């Protein structure tokens, strides 16, 4: 600790603090333009200049100067005022003063400082910037005429996002921020640069000219897309979500967001959302009243007796899921499941079998301090981008060693010093088994207290590094190196995302990752963690709440099979579009034909088209409740806007249904939370008051495994086909909902098939050509996207788009043999 | 007391004499409008559009909350008010909007004959405000 | 040749015709004056308050009374649900009728002479000459208060009721002073007939024969105090400013006529002005020598009536309303003693004179 004096105030701060940070902690105001809490000190703007007694003769930039013992700092004097004012005058020489048409006006740091320092005239004359604005990209408005060259966008894109789209180009007065070769912006469109920009140089285009900052009502809620659980602050006006506001004060994400969180909100305002309940009469879905719709549902379910299946989505709040569970009890059925069943088995069965728990063992912020990180599948960044940014910071700030077990390249593999174990598609298990075997062979494993070690050792004989290397095409040394790093690391993390397109080997991968976490001691160790991250906002909550088949109940796949055979008389699908997103179209399609089908959704989905009753529900922005994110963090979802038309929240609909079955339902989400906390393991001591700005992590920062059992898993074999298709998530989308949002759709609006350059050359395909993939199960066709991500012979198709009909050929297999035909 | 009563009576009697009327026979005679009179608003046009850039300062400063602005982007990528409406029934003619305007796009004319028959006629939209003239509604 | 006085017994037809003509003329003229009194009042008060008064309806707003009448005539006639409907309807009539009836005993001109069938007839320009004319007028004035009280009571509205009660108190208080001040007049004239009082005023002033013949014995000269008392109490009696407490818009939202609308309201309005005319006529008759004067007799009379009315209007334009206690104080503690003293003085004077 260091003692210093700022403006006559005695302050004690940590020795790593800068003068600015020390002053801020003491509540002393120093103006800044280029400083941001989460970025490294830079010192570009010279607005934060202060006087330091020991360094008389010049002014000191407070944001880059570390504190020293006995420092005496003055933050304001006539000279400082004059200098700061002069700095602002310099900035305003070139800065175009177009505040009336600049969307930043009202929250612009430069504007505020100009006002504060009363810069009404300028002693310097110069030419205003007259640079072309970036009108090409759909999401980020770049107007470099307003830039003050603080470099925050450059730094955030590099330090946090790890993409590096921007840099300074040219020299002197010509200096400006630009992309490579000064072309249009084409990046992840996470919009981090927008959130950092202190002026109006970078602005969200979807919000262009929509409203003024002071007109917006801000509501902190949790993003409804992935399991990362980022806090997003809705800026609402006229009962519409106008934009997502920057907020680094609450939540686990530190103000970081991805394209989906920052730009994927517009489906909330969509006028295509269902506004009235629909009931099928004479083969047609017709609008009806809520009373009739609920009556129709109740009649249908009663007719079906206990042969009812409930398929829930994982974007419902905990409270709603609790009511779903109650409804299943009221209906007397154990046929209850969520998210396509198979895909989350890694947690519910895999982790249960080994660690005895059903959740990730640690929290996201810990990863920043990890020394070694193993990401199973390169798609982790695509499914959980903001967690990916934490990994990037671990690498940049902490020199963490990242190993990516990858079937294709991606953002993670491009990070500095990332080791990519690029294997043949579908062979992740081999690699993990290989790493485990290296640990055991080299005696690096921490085997104390582990059950089933011998059995595992025996089974891992087949997976020696060399054997795995031959099978997967990954260098044996790399596997060994990865194993050694993981074992040697003080803090280490293993990341694995699951989701609808990653159904294959779900359970086995969960077990393998758990084995690895036990052998390396990661599971339950302070600072380390095994992260199995759900795809949807409340996947973890659904598992916690037990939206799972009961002992005699059927999972989703069995339900569909039973419904197809006519054994299941009624199906209740809440917030899911199985016809588009679930594997095995034929099975789902047949299942939805026969029984009494009730669909509860925001939009008229393909599944809803087949329903007998459609109940209009509302988005996350229209309801109150809690989500539990992939690190077990319970966070509050808050209502930002009122639901449109007659649509009701899932909570209200489930209340009505419960009442129709004569069961008492909790009156409010808060009441429901109190009730569910009692019956949900891990939530027993949680009350809503404890769910603060940073949420509440049930089970504590580190969740200790209940058992330490090693279970051997058998890996698959590589597919013998020249061309193979991988199914997965794309960065710009999450589930099927984001295809209704303008932001993500503006970047990726239609399905595509991605392939590497070599394949493209071989098949003489160019970007945008139509390609047909012929498979045993059927054909799919889409436009081609060519890049360097995919190894030769491997294609990739995202599962978000209904138009692709991907699930007609994807039935849950790890990889699909295809035959490309150019159209 | 009688003196005061008589004085009062004499004052009223004096006023009875011709030439003491202060009434302006309004439709026939009109008072001269002060140069800074605050009458009906006028949006200042430029060659092909209104000068207004929809910065939202006037609805923000308006104490009566009578100004509705909706900004949008025109073909040239400029910010313009797609909707600019003043509800004269709520307007208190304080002139803050004129004062707040950074581009001098709104001014107040001397038009004060603003009575009308229908409620809707008091909603002055952009087209009407662009056409408003000095001295006439 | 002495003209023959028209009587019912000797020339029934002619008498009836003359009577009808007199009644109709008196009634119509009064109504016209009522109508234009409103116009004159608005015009004069307007001017006195540096305004214009009505200007738009007809030349100088001359059609304003007619427009007002038409408007009120076509307005919806509302009787409040809780009102006593019979009293509510009868009240405005009860205020208007006595005012008009009083006119019947006022002599509005000297005798009119005409020749019919070779005989010279003389018709008094007076509907009827009661020998107790003054008492009759007092009686009618006393009746007028019933209209207001009934209107206030029947409306079933607290403001109206307060207006009615105020009016009763005020009328009772000031009728005493008015009556006592008139006593002094007929102590001098020794008759209650208004015709007699008018002729008594045509004698030389104070019986002084040396004065020029056009100086007549108008009682205003003999009884200035009585005139003052009468004038003030008559303002009070017709509820005009500064004694308009029963109406008092600012406190009682029009007092007794709050609930009235349409023609009933118009009747109250007409009653007020008719009363004003009646009182002016009485004042002119009792103190200003009736129709006596330099011009045609009826012109003299009308001129005096208008003069009175002008002063009423003038006062209304000038003085604010009295407070209730001030009103009572003035009525009982000043006007009444003064009137009594005046009667006593007059008595002594008459005794001395004889």
Substitution target in C41, C43, C45, C49 with the highest count of B β-carbons within 10 Å is C49
List, for residues A470-522, the tens digit of each pLDDT value.
999 999 999 999 999 999 999 999 999 988 889 889 999 999 999 999 999 99
Q: Where are the beta strands (DSSP E) in A126-227?
A: 140-142, 167-169, 176-178, 202-204, 217-222
Kindly report the pTM of this predicted structure: 0.79
List of chains touching B (3+ CB pairs within 8 A): A, C
Say if the Cβ atoms of B15 and C49 lie within 8 Å.
yes
Mean pLDDT of C302-328: 89
Kindly list the residues from chain B whose CB atom is less than 8 angstroms away from the CB atom of residue C49: 12, 15
Query: What is the interface pTM, i.e. ipTM, of the complex?
Result: 0.82
Backbone φ, ψ for residue C114 (5° rounding): -150, 160
Say if the Cβ atoms of A135 and B77 lie within 8 Å.
yes
Say if the Cβ atoms of B71 and A135 lie within 8 Å.
no
Give the separation between CA A300 and CA A467, rounded to whole angstroms: 57
Name the token pair of A737: 């909902």
List of chains touching C (3+ CB pairs within 8 A): B
Q: Does C348 touch chain B (CB under 8 A)?
A: no
**Of B8, B16, B23, which is closest to C52 when you measure between CB atoms?**
B23
**CB pairs A-B closer than 8 Å:** 30
Lowest average pLDDT, out of A617-626, A753-762, C129-138, goes to C129-138
pLDDT value at residue C130: 83
Query: Does residue C186 register a pLDDT over 90?
Result: no
Decide: A744 and A424 in contact? Cβ < 8 Å: no
Exposure string for A582-602, b = 16+ CB within 10 A, e = fewer: bbbbebbbebbeebbbbbbbb
Q: Which residues 6+ apart lie within 8 Å of A210 measured at CB?
A: A103, A242, A243, B71
Substitution target in B11, B15, B18, B20 with the highest count of C β-carbons within 10 Å is B15
**Nearest CA of chain B to the CA of A697: how many Å?**
42
**Closest residue of chain C to B10, computed from CA coordinates:** C318
Burial class (CB in 10 A: 0-12, 13-18, 19+), A505: buried
Mean pLDDT of A657-675: 93
Residue predicted with more confidence, A549 or C207: A549
**Closest residue of chain C to B6, computed from CA coordinates:** C318
Lowest average pLDDT, out of A152-156, A209-213, C143-147, goes to C143-147
Decide: A795 and A818 in contact? Cβ < 8 Å: yes
Q: pLDDT-derived band of residue B137, with 50, 70 and 90 as boundaries?
A: very low
Q: Does B44 touch chain A (CB under 8 A)?
A: no
Give the separation between CA B51 and CA B25, rounded to whole angstroms: 38
User: Taking CA A70 as the corner, what is the angle to CA A66 and CA A74, rounded to the nearest 5 degrees?
Assistant: 70
**Nearest CA of chain A to the CA of B20: how many Å?**
53
DSSP codes, A95-112: S---GGG-TTTTS-HHHH
Say if the Cβ atoms of A209 and B77 lie within 8 Å.
no
Kindly list the residues from chain A whose CB atom is less than 8 angstroms away from the CB atom of residue B78: 101
Mean pLDDT of chain A: 92
Q: pLDDT-derived band of residue A134, with 50, 70 and 90 as boundaries?
A: confident
Say if the Cβ atoms of C52 and B25 lie within 8 Å.
yes
Lowest average pLDDT, out of A647-651, B89-93, C87-91, goes to C87-91
Kindly list the residues from chain B whose CB atom is less than 8 angstroms away from the CB atom of residue C330: none
**Closest residue of chain A to B103, computed from CA coordinates:** A100
Q: Does B56 touch chain A (CB under 8 A)?
A: yes
Q: pLDDT-derived band of residue B136, with 50, 70 and 90 as boundaries?
A: low
Q: Is the dihedral of CA B95, B99, B105, B107 positive or negative?
A: positive
Lowest average pLDDT, out of A146-155, A687-696, C215-224, goes to C215-224
Q: Residue C236: name the closest of C276, C265, C270 by CA.
A: C276
Decide: A515 and A710 in contact? Cβ < 8 Å: yes
Decide: A248 and A196 in contact? Cβ < 8 Å: no
CATH number of B33-131: 3.30.70.3270
Substitution target in C40, C41, C48, C51 with the highest count of B β-carbons within 10 Å is C48
Q: Does C317 touch chain B (CB under 8 A)?
A: yes
List, for residues C64-115, the tens digit of each pLDDT value.
888 988 888 888 888 888 888 888 888 888 888 888 888 888 888 888 888 8
Burial class (CB in 10 A: 0-12, 13-18, 19+), A452: middle
Kindly list the residues from chain B whose CB atom is less than 8 angstroms away from the CB atom of residue A101: 53-55, 78-79
Decide: A134 and A185 in contact? Cβ < 8 Å: yes
**Nearest CA of chain C to the CA of B8: how many Å?**
6
**Nearest CA of chain A to the CA of B34: how many Å?**
31
Name the token pair of A625: 């409740």
Do C and A count as touching (3 or more CB pairs closer than 8 A)?
no
Please identify which residue in the block is written with the tokens 């309004």.
B26
List, for residues A439-468, the tens digit of each pLDDT value.
999 999 998 889 999 999 999 998 999 999
Give the separation between CA A231 and CA A240, rounded to whole angstroms: 18
Kindly list the residues from chain C whose CB atom is less than 8 angstroms away from the CB atom of residue B8: 318-319
Backbone φ, ψ for residue A226 (5° rounding): -95, 180
How far from the centroid of its chain's Cα atoms is residue C24's Cα? 18
Say if the Cβ atoms of B16 and C52 lie within 8 Å.
no
Say if the Cβ atoms of B12 and C52 lie within 8 Å.
no
**Nearest CA of chain C to the CA of B36: how many Å?**
28
Decide: A600 and A574 in contact? Cβ < 8 Å: yes
Q: Does B71 touch chain A (CB under 8 A)?
A: yes
Give the separation between CA B105 and CA C190, rounded to whole angstroms: 88
pLDDT value at residue C54: 87
**Closest residue of chain C to B7, computed from CA coordinates:** C318
Q: Does B104 touch chain A (CB under 8 A)?
A: no
Decide: A169 and A175 in contact? Cβ < 8 Å: yes
Query: Does residue A597 register a pLDDT over 80?
Result: yes
**Closest residue of chain A to B105, computed from CA coordinates:** A100
Hey, where are the domains in chain C?
Answer: 82-109+127-353
List, for residues A21-30, the tens digit of each pLDDT value.
999 999 999 9
Decide: A474 and A431 in contact? Cβ < 8 Å: yes
Substitution target in A100, A133, A142 with the highest count of B β-carbons within 10 Å is A100
Say if the Cβ atoms of C48 and B13 lie within 8 Å.
yes
pLDDT value at residue A13: 94
**Closest residue of chain A to B100, computed from CA coordinates:** A100
Mean pLDDT of A269-274: 92
DSSP SS3 for A63: coil
Burial class (CB in 10 A: 0-12, 13-18, 19+), A760: buried
DSSP SS3 for C141: helix
Kindly list the residues from chain B whose CB atom is less than 8 angstroms away from the CB atom of residue A133: 77
Please identify which residue in the block is written with the tokens 């004067």.
C293
Decide: A38 and A21 in contact? Cβ < 8 Å: no
List, for residues A295-350, the tens digit of each pLDDT value.
999 999 999 888 899 999 999 999 999 999 999 999 999 999 998 888 899 999 99
Domains and CATH numbers, chain A: 2-76 (3.10.20.740), 128-268 (3.30.70.20), 278-339+541-686 (3.40.50.740), 345-535 (3.40.228.10), 723-822 (2.40.40.20)
Backbone φ, ψ for residue A599 (5° rounding): -120, 135
Task: Order across the sheet with A596-601: list the strands.
Answer: A284-287, A278-281, A613-616, A596-601, A570-574, A308-312, A336-338
**Of B53, B56, B103, which is closest to A212 when you measure between CB atoms?**
B56
Query: Does residue A806 register a pLDDT over 70?
Result: yes
Q: Where are the beta strands (DSSP E) in A560-674?
A: 570-574, 596-601, 613-616, 625-628, 633-637
**Closest residue of chain B to C317, computed from CA coordinates:** B12
**Of C49, C52, C314, which is closest to B13 when you measure between CB atoms?**
C314
């Amino acid at each position: 600790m260091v003692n210093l004096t700022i403006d006559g105030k005695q302050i004690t701060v940590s020795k790593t603090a800068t003068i600015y940070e020390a002053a801020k902690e003491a509540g002393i105001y120093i103006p800044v333009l280029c400083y941001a809490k989460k970025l490294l000190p830079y010192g570009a703007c010279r607005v934060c200049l202060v006087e330091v007694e020991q360094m008389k003769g010049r002014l000191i930039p407070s944001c880059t100067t570390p504190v020293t013992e006995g420092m005496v700092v003055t933050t304001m004097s006539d000279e400082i005022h004059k200098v700061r004012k002069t700095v602002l005058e310099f900035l305003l020489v070139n800065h175009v003063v177009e505040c009336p048409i600049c969307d930043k006006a009202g929250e612009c740091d430069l504007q505020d400082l100009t006002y504060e320092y009363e810069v009404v005239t300028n002693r310097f004359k110069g030419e205003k910037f007259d640079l072309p604005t970036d009108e090409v990209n759909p999401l980020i408005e770049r107007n470099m005429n307003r830039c003050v060259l603080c470099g925050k966008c450059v730094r955030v894109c590099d330090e946090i996002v790890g993409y590096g789209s921007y840099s300074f180009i040219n020299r002197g007065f010509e200096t400006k921020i630009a992309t490579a070769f000064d072309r249009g912006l084409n990046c992840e469109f996470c919009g981090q640069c927008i959130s950092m920009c202190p002026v109006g140089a970078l602005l969200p285009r979807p919000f262009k000219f929509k409203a003024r900052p002071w007109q917006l009502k801000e509501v902190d809620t949790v993003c409804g897309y992935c399991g990362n659980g980022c806090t997003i602050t809705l800026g609402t006006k006229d009962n519409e979500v106008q934009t997502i506001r920057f907020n680094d004060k609450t939540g686990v994400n530190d103000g970081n967001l991805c394209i989906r969180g920052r730009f994927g909100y517009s489906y909330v305002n969509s006028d295509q959302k269902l506004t009235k309940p629909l009931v099928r009469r004479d083969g047609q879905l017709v609008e009806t009243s809520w009373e009739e719709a609920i009556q129709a549902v109740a009649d249908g379910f009663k007719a079906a007796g206990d042969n009812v299946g409930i398929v829930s989505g994982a974007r419902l709040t905990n409270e709603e899921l609790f009511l779903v569970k109650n409804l299943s009890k009221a209906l007397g059925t154990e046929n209850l499941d969520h998210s396509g069943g198979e895909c989350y088995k890694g947690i519910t069965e895999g982790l249960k079998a080994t660690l005895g728990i059903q959740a990730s063992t640690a929290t996201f912020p810990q990863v920043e301090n990890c020394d070694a990180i193993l990401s199973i599948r390169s798609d982790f960044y695509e499914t959980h981008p903001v967690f990916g940014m934490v990994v990037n910071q671990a690498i940049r700030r902490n020199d963490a060693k990242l190993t990516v077990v990858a079937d294709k390249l991606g953002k993670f593999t491009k990070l500095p010093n990332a080791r990519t174990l690029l294997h043949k598609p579908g062979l992740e298990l081999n690699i993990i088994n290989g790493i485990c075997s290296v640990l055991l062979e080299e005696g690096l494993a921490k085997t104390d207290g582990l059950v089933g070690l011998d059995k595992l050792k025996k089974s891992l004989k087949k997976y020696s590094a060399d054997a795995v290397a031959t099978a997967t095409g990954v260098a044996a040394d790399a596997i060994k190196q990865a194993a050694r790093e993981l074992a040697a690391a003080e803090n280490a993390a293993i990341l694995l995302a699951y989701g609808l397109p990653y159904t294959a080997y779900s359970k086995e991968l969960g077990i393998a990752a758990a084995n690895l976490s036990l052998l390396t001691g990661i599971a339950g160790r302070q600072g380390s963690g095994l992260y199995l991250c759900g795809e949807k906002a409340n996947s973890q909550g659904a598992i916690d709440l037990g939206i799972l088949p009961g002992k005699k109940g059927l999972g989703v796949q069995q339900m569909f099979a039973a419904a197809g055979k006519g054994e299941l008389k009624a199906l209740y699908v809440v917030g899911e579009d199985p016809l588009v997103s679930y594997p095995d179209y034929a099975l789902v399609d047949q299942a939805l034909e026969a029984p009494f089908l009730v669909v509860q959704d925001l939009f008229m989905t393909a599944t809803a088209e087949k329903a007998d009753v459609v109940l209009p529900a509302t988005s996350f922005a229209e309801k109150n409740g809690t989500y539990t994110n992939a690190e077990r963090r319970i966070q509050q979802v808050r209502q930002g806007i009122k639901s449109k038309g007659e649509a009701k929240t899932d909570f209200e609909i489930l209340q009505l249904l419960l009442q129709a079955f004569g069961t008492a339902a909790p009156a409010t989400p808060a009441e429901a939370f109190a009730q569910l906390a009692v019956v949900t393991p891990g939530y027993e001591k949680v009350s809503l008051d404890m769910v603060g700005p940073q949420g509440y992590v049930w089970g504590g920062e580190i969740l200790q495994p209940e058992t330490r059992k090693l279970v051997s898993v058998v890996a698959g074999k590589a597919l013998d086909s020249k061309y193979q298709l991988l199914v997965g998530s794309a960065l710009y989308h999450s589930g099927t909902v984001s295809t209704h949002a303008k932001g993500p759709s503006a970047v990726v609006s239609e399905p595509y098939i991605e392939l590497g350059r070599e394949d493209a050359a071989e098949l003489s395909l160019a970007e945008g050509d139509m390609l047909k993939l012929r498979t045993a199960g059927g054909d799919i066709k889409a436009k081609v996207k060519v890049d360097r991500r995919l190894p030769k012979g491997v294609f990739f198709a995202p599962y978000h788009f209904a138009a692709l009909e991907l699930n007609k050929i994807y039935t849950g297999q790890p990889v699909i043999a295809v035959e490309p035909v150019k159209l | 007391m009688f003196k005061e009563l008589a004085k009062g009576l004499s004052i009223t009697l004096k006023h009875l004499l011709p030439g003491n009327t202060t009434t302006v026979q309004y439709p026939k005679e009109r008072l001269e409008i002060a140069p800074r009179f605050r009458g009906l608003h006028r949006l200042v046009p430029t060659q092909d559009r209104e000068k207004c850039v929809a910065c939202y300062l006037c609805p923000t400063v308006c104490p009566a909350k009578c100004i509705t602005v909706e900004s949008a982007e025109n073909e040239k990528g400029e910010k313009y008010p797609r909707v600019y409406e003043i509800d004269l029934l709520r307007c208190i003619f304080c002139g803050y909007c004129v004062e707040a305007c950074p581009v001098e796009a709104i001014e107040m004319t001397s038009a004060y004959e603003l009575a009308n028959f229908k409620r809707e006629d008091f909603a002055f939209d952009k087209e009407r405000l662009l056409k408003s003239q000095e001295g006439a509604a | 040749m002495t003209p023959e006085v028209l009587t019912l017994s000797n020339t029934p037809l002619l008498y009836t015709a003359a009577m009808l003509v007199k009644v109709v003329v008196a009634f119509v003229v009064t109504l016209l004056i009522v109508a234009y009194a409103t116009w004159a009042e608005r015009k004069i008060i307007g001017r006195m308050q540096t305004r214009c008064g009505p200007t738009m309806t007809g030349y100088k707003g001359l059609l304003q009374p007619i427009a007002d009448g038409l408007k009120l005539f076509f307005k919806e006639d509302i009787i409040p649900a809780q009102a006593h409907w019979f009293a509510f309807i009868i009240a405005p009539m009860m205020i208007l009728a006595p005012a008009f009836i009083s006119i019947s005993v006022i002599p509005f001109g000297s005798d009119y002479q005409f020749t019919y069938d070779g005989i010279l007839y003389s018709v008094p320009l007076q509907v009827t000459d009661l020998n107790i004319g003054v008492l009759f007028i007092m009686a009618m004035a006393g009746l007028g208060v019933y209209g207001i009280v009934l209107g206030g009571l029947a409306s079933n509205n607290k403001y109206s009721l307060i207006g009615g009660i105020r009016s009763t108190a005020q009328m009772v208080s000031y009728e005493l002073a008015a009556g006592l001040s008139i006593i002094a007049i007929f102590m001098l004239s020794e008759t209650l007939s208004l015709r007699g009082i008018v002729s008594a005023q045509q004698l030389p002033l104070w019986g002084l024969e040396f004065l020029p013949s056009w100086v007549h014995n108008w009682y205003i000269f003999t009884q200035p105090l009585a005139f003052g008392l009468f004038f003030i109490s008559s303002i009070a009696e017709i509820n005009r400013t500064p004694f308009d407490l029963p109406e008092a818009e600012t406190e009682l939202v029009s007092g007794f006529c709050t609930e009235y609308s349409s023609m009933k309201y118009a009747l109250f309005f007409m009653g007020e002005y008719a009363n004003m005319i009646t009182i002016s006529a009485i004042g002119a008759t009792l103190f200003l020598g009736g129709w006596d004067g330099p011009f045609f007799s009826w012109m003299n009379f009308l001129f005096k009536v208008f003069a009175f009315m002008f002063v009423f209007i003038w006062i209304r334009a000038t003085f604010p309303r009295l407070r209730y206690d001030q009103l009572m104080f003035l009525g009982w503690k000043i006007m009444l003693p003064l009137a009594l003293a005046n009667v006593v003085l007059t008595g002594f004077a008459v005794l001395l004179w004889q």
